[in-house]
Amino acid sequence: MIGKYIYAVLNSNEDLRLSVFVNPAGEDGNARARTIAYRDISAIVGDAEIVEYTARDKELLVRQLLKHQKMIEGIMPRHSVIPMQLGLFARDENEVLEILAGGYTLIKNIFGESAGKTEMDVAAVWSDFPAILKEAGGEKEIVELKKELLARPAGVTPADRINLGAMVKQALDNKREQYAGEILRGLKGVSLASKTHELMGDTMVLNTAFLLNKAECGDFEKEVERLNLKFNDKLNFRCVGPLPLYSFYTLETRKLKFEEVENARKKLRLSGGHITAEQLKSAYHEAAFSCHPDKNPAIPGIEKEFHELASAYKFLADCSRSGVRMSTERDFKNNPVLVKLRE
C-alpha cells in the first residue's frame, strides 16, 4: 500500500516541490517530496510503500536513517524544521493533516523554543586502545593481585581470571568517566543543554549531542579543538554539525483511545471536564503523596502503583502539551492522534 512518508514539519505553509527526493522505504527514486500545509505549518512528505520499520534488519534501518536525515538536512539551511521519527507513515493526505492538527500547539511551542538553535554532536574515542587497556591493567591494585595469584602453588584459576578481567574493566571505565567528565565540563560551558547517547563499543569514550545557539557554533568548535589538542595523545575527536535538533526535538506520534485517557484520569482521581496543566500537576502531587514507596514502604505492590500513577501523569501531560482536548469523548474523537517529543 502506498502512503505518505513524513520526514519533518516546517514552520511555514509555503507550497514546496522539493527537487531531491530519497525514498525512505527503498532505493533512491524520481518522485518528489512536497509539503502538505495546515494553518501556518506544513509536513514534508513523499509517496512511499507503507512498511513496518521495527521488522527490518539493523543494516537496512541504518541505510534508511541516512536517507531520512539527508532529506531533513537538505531543507534545514532554508527553513526552520522539526524532525519526525524514523518510519512515520500516514495513510493519505487527510491523516497527515490529522497529525498536524493534533500536534499543532506542541509544534508551535517547539518552533518558539528552538528558534535560533542548532545541534552539534561530539564523539571521542581512544586513539590507542591497546595502550589504554595495558595502562588500566597496570594499576597498582591489579598488578599486586596478579603477583599474588602467580605466587600461589595452585596457580591462576578461571574464577581468578574473571575477577582480574572485571578489575581491568572497572579501571578502564574509571578512565573513561574521568576523560568524559572533563570533556563535558568544557563543552557544557559553551552550550545550552546536552543529551548523552549510547557508546558504540569499548573504544568510545564520549557520544553526546549538544544544543547551542547558532551564533555560538564558532565558540563551540574552538572548545572542541582545545580539548582535541589537550588530549591529543589519548583521544581522537569527531564533531558533526550544525544539525537539525534530532536529539532534543524529534516528534513521534501514536493513535489514542478514549479509554486510555479515562483510565489515566481515574488514576489521578480527576473528574470529567477540561484539565489545565496546573490542575494536572496538583492532582499528581496529591496522589503521589499517598502512594510514594518512600513514604509507604510496607504496603505490598506500592512501587507498581506509583509507577502506574507516574505513567498516567506523563501520558496526560503529553496530551495536554500536544493540545489534545480531553473534556468529553466527543471532543476526543476530533483529536485521535497524540503528537509528542520522543523520549
How many angstroms separate the CA atoms of 257 and 255, rounded? 7
Q: Is 207:196 a contact under the CB 8 Å cutoff? A: yes
The amino acid present at 31, given as its one-letter code, is A
Q: How confident is the model at residue 197 (pLDDT cuts 50, 70, 90)?
A: very high
Q: How confident is the model at residue 42 (pLDDT cuts 50, 70, 90)?
A: very high
Grid coordinates of 66 = 541516512
Mean pLDDT is lowest, of 256-260, 312-316, 324-328, for 324-328
Question: What are the tens digits of pLDDT across the range 63-122?
Answer: 888 888 888 988 888 889 999 999 889 989 999 998 998 889 899 999 999 999 999 999
Q: How confident is the model at residue 264 (pLDDT cuts 50, 70, 90)?
A: confident
Q: Cell match 536517507: residue? A: 67
Q: Is 247:240 a contact under the CB 8 Å cutoff? A: no
Q: Is 268:291 a contact under the CB 8 Å cutoff? A: no
Mean pLDDT is lowest, of 68-82, 85-99, 210-224, 328-342, for 328-342
Quick count: other Cβ atoms within 10 Å of Cβ 286?
11
Q: How confident is the model at residue 219 (pLDDT cuts 50, 70, 90)?
A: very high
Q: Between 343 and 229, whose confidence is greater?
A: 229
Question: What are the tens digits of pLDDT across the range 17-40?
Answer: 765 444 444 444 445 788 999 999
Helix, strand, coil percent values for the chain (each to nearest 5): 50, 20, 30
Grid coordinates of 148 = 599474588
Task: Note the pTM of the prediction, 2 decimals.
Answer: 0.78
Name which of 169, 114, 162 is nearest 137 in CA terms.
169
Q: Is the pLDDT of residue 265 over 80?
A: yes
Coil/strand/helix, residue 263 = helix
DSSP-derived letter for residue 85 is P
Q: Per mean pLDDT, which of 125-134, 190-199, 248-257, 314-323 is the most reliable?
A: 190-199
The pLDDT score that the predictor gives to residue 23 is 47
Q: Over the range 21-56, which residues count as b (16 or more CB within 10 Å of their CB) and which as e?
A: bbbbbeeeeeeebbbbbbeebbbbbbbbeebebeee
Question: What are the tens digits of pLDDT across the range 291-322?
Answer: 778 777 777 778 888 888 888 888 888 877 76
DSSP-derived letter for residue 84 is B
Q: Cell match 527553513: residue? A: 79
Burial of residue 73 (CB within 10 Å: 0-12, 13-18, 19+) is middle
Grid coordinates of 131 = 595502550
How many angstroms separate the CA atoms of 43 and 86, rounded? 14
How many angstroms separate the CA atoms of 20 and 227, rounded? 38
Quick count: other Cβ atoms within 10 Å of Cβ 132?
21
Q: Is 102:322 a contact under the CB 8 Å cutoff? A: yes
How many angstroms separate the CA atoms of 208 and 217, rounded? 16
Region of 224 please: left (phi>0), alpha (psi -120 to 50) or beta.
alpha
If you average pLDDT over residues 43-72, what whole number do you get?
A: 82
Q: Cell match 511555514: residue? A: 12
The pLDDT score that the predictor gives to residue 150 is 66
